[in-house]
Structure 1
Amino acid sequence: MYYSLLATSGQIYKEFVGEFIAQLLYSSEADANIEGGETKKQQQQTFIENILIRLSNLGETFNFLIFWITNNNNKNNIMINNYYFYLILIFFILIFLFFLHRPLPHFIADRWKIQIIEFLMRISNEYLGDLVELFSGPIMRNKFTRFFSSLPFYFFPVRAPNWCLINVGYIAGIKCRFYIPKGEFKRNNALIVFIHGGGWCMGRPRFYDGALLLLIKQLGLTIISIDYSLSPEVKFPVALLECEQVIEEIYNKKFEDLGIDKNKIALMGDSAGGCQCAVLCQRVLRMNRKEMIKCQILIYPVIHMLDFQSPSYQLYYRIYPRTGLLNPKMLARWYLFYLGIEPTQKNINLMIKNQHLSPKLLNEAKLSSILDPEKLPKEFLLEEKENEFLKFNRKNPSIIKWKTTKNGFNGIKEAKIEKENTEREKLSNQIEEYLRNPDICPILANNLKDHCPTMILTAGIDVLRDEGIQYAKRLNEDEVKVELKHYEDAYHGIFNMYCSKKREEIINDISNYLKNNLINN
């Protein structure tokens, strides 16, 4: 049985697996022309041919080993043959894993941990997720991704320490998770209301136990994390209004029961939760109730859905493409779920080319001003002569049409628009009203004077990097007190990473900010 299995495996490996891996890792999306010399497509094809030749040689070696084993099969060497079988099996598993490996930036924090986690996330969220979507649709894919991404937090939960009470309750009918320090560990009566991330479609408050407990230990305050309803089961603005109801209930009624000072309430959120925080602070400002929120902390926040081609997205395509970290397609899918628009592959592909923007919206001066890359730090603007990626003439040139370099900004109006593309027009018509809404794109708010003090944290290895910096600039324009912290070696999701020195640094910075702007102010 072993030998027939080996023979079959060798043939499959030689004729199918090698070609499959090559196509998977070096797909046609990288086809491009480089100025002068051999085309990029020809280079890729040559590289693939070399891979297939080497895999074919491995297949021949595999068949030779099978021949050797089968011709030395007797009762005295059965154990040896079994040993070789497992050795060969392990060898080819390692070869297969080698070809699935995707290098991450060499300077990334928590390198070995995130390399393993990225691999598992890519297998589950991308490869298996694509299969689930193919057979069962995008909603089932989202449920599958939720399930798989939650497994580590259920198998390896953070134990509640004896100095902090963690329980679940309801405020304004909305489920919340309470973190209340006990006795001498409660050193002040301030409160943090935390709104978790996950693209409005994933995540639960308990996934943040580790980070929030570290913060409580340093500050000695109470934290309430809102377990808001997720998309696509609900759509905008349900989750936003739930968070708003919780904050209003705490400020108006529950502060006495919780033993907190209602004038010392801070909002904090990461990713999509950071977007909710930014929007809520603007909403209380518009309601003339700015006293409800003392300050806010936005951790690599989502700020708008207007530009999938900014320098941080270009950096993704250049140095860590097709990895399991936060990527453009993942974001586009969650955006569409949140807005109640069908997340078909066609709609997702239109969004990552910025073709969800209508011609009218593209030509607005306000949008050009907001997205002007000259407002970003100069080190984020890629030198064209040093960036081979910017020289590519891709099959989908609109991905790179907003060419952002130190030599200048080509302008939004130059983005490619397929005027006769009815699907593009349909999507842009569906989404335009949302893109103009500051409750979805808080960077579009008109008047932010008297806005509460804000801390914004951004990560260098994150497609959302530029949005946080753009929002800090926008707040500065209205003279809002802003503290911007950028962590070049951090990645999106680091706030959930266990035993991370970089996360400890981030939490220390948040703690110092809250001491100065919430507790002692």
Structure 2
Amino acid sequence: MMLKAEKEQKKRLKYTAIGVTVMILLIIGYSLHKPLPEGFTVTKWDRAVMHVVEPALRVAYYYPSRMFSKASNMVYWTRGALNILSKTLGLLVDTQGQIDIKWHEWNGTPVKVYRPIDNRTSTDGAVIFIHGGGFALGNVEMYDSLVERMAFEMKTLFISVEYRLSPETVFPGGILDCEAAIDYFFDNASIQFGVNTSKIVIMGDSAGGNLATVIAQRRAARNASPALAGQVLIYPLLQMADMQTISYRYFHSRLSGYALVDPESVAYYYMFYAGIDMDEKAYLIPSVISNGHVAKDLKPEVEEMMSHRIVIESTRNYRNHSISERWEIERNFEAQDLMRPFLTNPDFSPLMRKDLSNLPPTMVLTCEFDVLRDEGLIYAQRLEAAGVPTTTINYENGFHAMLNFHSELHEASKSVEDIEQWTLNVINNA
């Protein structure tokens, strides 16, 4: 009888523990739940996935990163957390062992080469991929599944560049790393890989889109030969002279507190990249996100380069969601002095380059729920006005960094297919 009673007690304790655990999980889930905006993701599956992923990201990196007193520690925590989390993504990608992947070092820059086995390519072109991460986060391995997938589905050689990150390496270190590797590739691609160097496309997302844009502009400015066949700019980070565009203001009114790329993070990362010690200068951030870092004499040039935003702000209104007017600028002369060398420097803010006429065919991808949406759309309009063949796609249900979920979300997978189709078309017609 005692043995039976002990078993019953253990059984009750087990069910009690399960019940308490479920209750705790429900309470945690309820406390973390934030309803996603209308239109965020396109299918019920995507929305369900993001209702799990977004709170998980908040717990893993967003909330902890806000607890550090030093901005550099925020960067290091976020870097480590995302490196770990990225290993859980892209697990559904199956390239059937058809992609040979090897590390190389070209002119001092590590690169990873994704090559169809036995060089069974559908083209004799290639793609140079530059990963994103605000110049401070990310690495080649974080994008492994995406790049391997594209190399497999396109049957095309891909090169992924491991440039150095800030705050350890500041502007223009990342640009020089990428250019060193790219120069090597152009010099050796034909003999080493059988690539036609007139059929090379450069591609990058976020800060990688910045670097890809800058490299394309610099090659065009010096009439480098052979010219790039095309460029794919995926929600690119192109400027920080106007942090009150409508896409930035929408974030403040509707997306604040979500684990999405936010205005403060853009300011921190961009300023770290500029070589500013944000452990000491964090107090400048409120001024920067109000545009108080833009000196008066720079404003005419900024306004000229950003003029297309007028069209965007009059036609793209986030489903009539109420968005605040521009708020008062908190001017800060220290911030203006520190940022003066960078805000209109096209190697730092490529949207500020005046002459865009000599650039290769371009694909610009933007996402509706992204603070960087407007600058991508502005750049695309300026490219078109300069006579550059330009394809622009704004994913109405998309968000920044969604390509990292390319095997988990339908919207992201569709964008990969769009990229592949455009890139193959450019390579085949080069």
Q: TM-score, normalised by structure 2?
A: 0.90
Contact 1:164 1:179 in 2 (8 A): yes
Q: For residue 81 of structure 2, what is the aligned residue in structure 1?
A: 148
Residue identity in the other structure for 2:298: L
Alpha carbons of structure 1 residues 101 and 155: separation in structure 2 relative to 1, 3 Å = closer
3-state DSSP class of the match of 1:292?
Answer: coil
**1:101, CA displacement in angstroms?**
1.6
Counterpart of 1:456 (choices 364, 375, 387) is: 364
Q: How many residues align?
A: 416
1:190 touches 1:264 (CA, 8 Å); kept in 2? yes
How far apart in 2 are the matches of 1:84 and 1:319?
Answer: 40
- Pick from 283, 294, 298: which aligns with 1:357? 294
The match for 1:482 is 390
The alignment status of 1:116 with 2:55, answered yes or no, reads no
Distance (Å, rounded) in 2 between the aligned partners of 1:388 and 1:254: 52
Question: In 1, distance between residues paired with 2:305 and 2:371?
Answer: 20
Which residue number corresponds to residue 415 of structure 2?
A: 506
Deviation at 1:257, TM superposition (A): 0.9
- CA 1:205–1:79: 2 relative to 1, 3 Å: same
CA distance in 1, matches of 2:107, 2:130: 16
Counterpart of 1:394 in structure 2 is none
Check the 8 A contact 1:165/1:182 in 2, yes or no: yes
**Aligned AA for 1:505?**
K
Q: Which SS does the other structure have where 1:463 is aligned?
A: coil
- For 1:167-182, list aligned pairs within 5 A: 167-182=102-117
> How far is 1:140 from its partner?
2.1
Letter matched to residue 422 of structure 2: Y
3-state secondary structure, aligned to 2:66? helix
Q: Are 1:105 and 2:37 matched, yes or no?
A: yes
Supply the AA of the counterpart residue of 1:118: E
Q: What corresponds to 2:342 in structure 1?
A: 434
Structure 1 residue 216 displacement after superposition: 1.9
Is residue 465 from structure 1 mapped to residue 401 from structure 2 by the alignment? no
Where does residue 412 of structure 1 map in the other structure? none
Alignment partners' CA distance in 2, 1:446 and 1:157: 39
Provide closer, same or farther for how the CA distance between residues 319 and 185 of structure 1 changes in structure 2, counting only shifts above 3 A: farther
Deviation at 1:507, TM superposition (A): 1.8
Indicate conservation of the 8 Å contact 1:373/1:381, yes or no.
no
CA distance in 2, matches of 1:171, 1:365: 38
What is the one-letter code of the residue matched to 1:401? R
Q: What residue is the counterpart of 2:306 in the other structure?
A: 370
Alpha-carbon distance in 2 for matches of 1:156, 1:485 = 24
Distance 1:465 1:388 in 2: 18
Structure 2 match to 1:68: none
Take 2:199 and 2:118, find their aligned partners in 1: how far apart are those partners?
A: 20
Counterpart amino acid of residue 87 in structure 1 = G
Query: Which residue of structure 2 lines up, in the alignment, with residue 61 of structure 1?
Result: none
Deviations 1:461-484 (A, max 9, x none): 111110110001111221111111
2:266 to 316, 320, 331: 331
Are the structure 2 counterparts of residues 79 and 104 from structure 1 closer, same or farther at C-alpha, using a change threshold of 3 Å?
Answer: same
Q: Which residue of 1 aligns with 2:143?
A: 208
Alignment of 1:153-172 (within 5 A): 153-154=86-87, 161-172=96-107
- Going from structure 1 to structure 2, the CA distance change for 1:173 and 1:103 (only over 3 Å counts) comes to same
Q: Which amino acid aligns with 2:311?
A: K
Structure 1 residues 93 and 217 mapped into 2: Cα distance closer, same or farther (>3 Å)?
closer
SS at 1:114's partner residue?
helix
Aligned-residue Cα RMSD (Å) equals 2.4
> How far, CA to CA, are the matches of 1:124 and 1:152 in structure 2?
8
CA distance in 2, matches of 1:86, 1:291: 65
Is this contact kept in 2: 1:190–1:222, CA < 8 A? yes
Equivalent residue in structure 1 for 2:125, among 169, 187, 190: 190
**SS class of match (1:268):** strand
CA–CA distance in 1 between the matches of 2:283 and 2:55?
Answer: 26
Contact 2:367 2:400 in 1 (8 A): yes
CA displacement at 1:106 relative to structure 2 = 3.5
Q: Percent identity?
A: 27
How much has 1:351 moved relative to structure 2?
A: 1.6
Structure 1 distance, partners of 2:255, 2:305, is: 29
Match of 1:491 in 2: 399
Report what 2:3 is aligned to. none
The answer to which structure, 1 or 2, has the higher relative contact order (CA under 8 A, 6+ apart) is: 2
Instruction: Give the letter for the 2:35 counterpart.
Output: P
Q: 1:60: which partner in 2?
A: none
Given candidates 255, 263, 285, the residue that maps to 1:348 is: 285
Per-residue deviation at 1:139? Answer: 1.6
Change (3 A) 1:83 1:302: same
Shift of 1:318: 2.6
Residues 155-192 of structure 1: per-residue CA shift (max 9 Å, x gap): 56757641110111111111001100013742222010
Q: 2:71 aligns with which of 111, 124, 138?
A: 138
- 1:46-86 deviation digits (Å, cap 9, x = unpaired): xxxxxxxxxxxxxxxxxxxxxxxxxxxx9986864674465
Q: Counterpart of 1:499 in structure 2: which amino acid?
A: E
* Structure 1 Cα separation of the partners of residues 62 and 421 of structure 2: 38
Contact 2:403-2:413 within 8 A present in 1 as well: no
- Runs of 4+ with >6 A deviation: 74-78
Letter in 2 for 1:111: R
**Which residue pairs with 1:28 in the alignment?**
none
- Quick check: 2:135–2:166 contact (8 Å CA) kept in 1? yes
Q: Secondary structure at the match of 1:233?
A: coil
CA distance in 1 between partners of 2:89 and 2:400 (Å): 21
Deviations 1:270-314 (A, max 9, x none): 000001111111101111216331110000001111111111112
- Equivalent residue, structure 2, for 1:416: 329
Letter matched to residue 112 of structure 1: A
1:448: how far off?
1.7
What do residues 105-159 of structure 1 show as CA deviations (whole Å, max 9, x unaligned)? 242222122222211221232211122x22xx22222111111111133456757
> Which residue, out of 303, 320, 326, partners 1:401?
326
User: Structure 1 or 2: larger helix share?
Assistant: 1
Q: Flag the structure with larger Rg.
A: 1
Distance 1:77 1:366, change over 3 A: closer
